[in-house]
Amino acid sequence: MAFISGLFGYLVAIVAFLWIGLLIGHADPADSLGAGLAVAYLIALSATVAVLVTALRARRRGRPIAGSLAGMAVGLILMALLAARIQPVAERADPGCPCEAIIDQIVTPRPL
Query: What is the tens place of the pLDDT at every residue in 77-95?
Result: 999 999 998 888 777 766 6
Nearest-Å Rg of the Cα atoms of the chain is 17
DSSP 79-95: HHHHHHHHHHHHHHSPT
Its pTM surpasses 0.75: yes
Nearest Cα to Cα of residue 85 among 4, 21, 25: 21
Asked whether the beta carbons of 6 and 51 are under 8 A apart, the reply is: yes
Give the pLDDT confidence of 23-76 residue by residue, as tens digits. 886 667 778 888 889 999 999 999 999 999 999 999 999 888 899 999 999 999
pLDDT at 81: 94
